[in-house]
């Protein structure tokens, strides 16, 4: 691998001007040894081709905006260092299983609709017996600790073969996030939540492929959440 230059091979498509998608190669200098893929994309956009479209925001792996397919795997562009890819060429494609707007910029409306569908907020169920702050024990909190780490990046969604073939499948992101509320001691709507996912578009559609776990940049395990939700459905006789 050359240390002074790197090639970015980028999926391009502008629906107004292009008949079909193509890949465009850019050569950029290896500005620093910890150059990230996102910095490379900004270099191209700001110095070589300002028509390049991609999504990003926080640049520190918190907002989940810059997920894309980079050298064979869905990852965040902001925390992927070019040197770690061990290749002269960085090949980038957009997230999959979503309509394409332009280049690396996809329409995520369906993804957000799935998130909205699982009611991603605490629901008390019965009125509070003791109004005021509802505390959790350290053990109760530990049950949701890791689940609250999801940054809604859609790497899992795009890597799942079932979301590719079943548009209505809720998918790993939505199912992990419903597990976050099912497992929360402050939530009082467990039965309602389990009923939402107890059909052919919910947990039973998962084929336990586990690509979702492999790609998650937060080391979450949506497949494990799905297994937990299936057990909860059976246990609660939903």
In 3D space, the residue among 69, 78, 59 whose CA is nearest the CA of residue 157 turns out to be 69
Q: In residues, how long is the chain?
A: 238
CB of 219 to ligand SF4, least distance (A): 8
Cα-based torsion angle of the residue sequence 227, 232, 234, 238 in order, rounded to the nearest 10 degrees: -130
Taking the complex as a whole, the smallest distance from the CB of residue 159 to ligand SF4 amounts, in Å, to 8
Query: Among residues 78 and 226, whose Cβ is nearest to ligand F3S?
Result: 226
Minimum Å distance from CB 173 to ligand SF4? 4
Q: Strand 105-106 relative to strand 100-102: parallel, antiparallel, unpaired?
A: antiparallel
Q: Which of residues 182-211 bind ligand SF4 (CB under 6 A)?
A: none
Residues 6+ positions from 32 with CB-CB distance below 8 Å: none
176 interface partner picked from ligand SF4, ligand F3S, none, CB below 5 to 8 A per type: ligand SF4
Contact pattern for ligand SF4 over residues 41 through 70, marking x by CB under 6 A = -----------------------x------
Contacted entry of ligand SF4, ligand F3S, none for residue 210, CB cut-off 5 to 8 Å set by kind = ligand F3S
- What is the DSSP-derived secondary structure letter of residue 57? -
Residue selected from 64, 94, 217, 222 as contacting ligand F3S according to rule CB under 6 A: 222
- Report how far apart the first and last C-alpha atoms of the chain are (Å, whole number): 56
- The region, left, alpha or beta by phi > 0 then psi within -120 to 50, assigned to residue 31 is alpha
Q: Which of 180, 158, 179 is nearest to 169 (CA)?
A: 158
Minimum Å gap between C-beta 12 and ligand SF4 is 25
Site for ligand F3S in 137-166 (CB under 6 A): 160, 162
Q: How far is the CB of 213 from ligand SF4 (least distance, A)?
A: 9
Closer to ligand SF4 at the Cβ: 26 or 202?
A: 202
- β pairing state of 73-76 and 100-102: unpaired
Spatial separation of the C-alpha atoms in residues 164 and 98, rounded to whole Å: 9
d(C-alpha 169, C-alpha 118), whole Å: 12
| DSSP annotation of 133 | -
218 binds, among ligand F3S, ligand SF4, none (CB under 5 to 8 A by kind): ligand SF4
Using rule CB under 6 A, residue 216 touches ligand SF4? yes
Nearer to ligand F3S, 65 or 225 (CB): 225
Taking the complex as a whole, the smallest distance from the CB of residue 149 to ligand F3S amounts, in Å, to 17
Binding residues for ligand F3S, total number by CB under 6 A: 13
Q: For the chain, how many helices (H) and strands (E)?
A: 9, 7
Residues of the shown chain interacting with ligand SF4 in the complex, contacts defined by CB under 6 A: 64, 150-156, 172-173, 176, 216, 218, 220, 222
């Amino acid at each position: 691998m050359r240390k002074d230059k790197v090639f970015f091979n980028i999926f391009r498509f502008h629906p107004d001007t292009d008949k079909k998608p193509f890949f465009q190669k850019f050569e950029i200098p290896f500005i620093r040894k910890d150059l990230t893929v996102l910095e490379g994309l900004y270099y191209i956009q700001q110095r070589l081709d300002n028509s390049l479209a991609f999504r990003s925001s926080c640049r520190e792996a918190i907002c989940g905006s810059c997920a894309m397919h980079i050298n064979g795997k869905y990852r965040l562009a902001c925390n992927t260092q070019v040197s770690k890819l061990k290749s002269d060429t960085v090949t980038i494609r957009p997230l999959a299983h979503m309509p394409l707007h332009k280049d690396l910029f996809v329409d995520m409306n369906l993804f957000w609709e799935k998130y909205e569908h699982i009611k991603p907020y605490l629901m008390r169920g019965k009125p509070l017996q003791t109004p005021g702050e509802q505390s959790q024990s350290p053990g109760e909190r530990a049950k949701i600790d890791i689940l609250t780490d999801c940054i809604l990046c859609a790497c899992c969604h795009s890597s799942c073969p079932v979301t590719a073939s079943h548009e209505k499948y809720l998918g790993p992101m939505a199912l992990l996030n419903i597990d976050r509320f099912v497992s929360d001691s402050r939530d009082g709507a467990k039965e309602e939540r389990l009923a939402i996912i107890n059909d052919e578009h919910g947990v039973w559609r998962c084929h336990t492929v586990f690509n979702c776990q492999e790609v998650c940049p937060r080391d979450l395990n949506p497949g494990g959440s799905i297994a937990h939700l299936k057990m909860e459905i059976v246990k609660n006789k939903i």
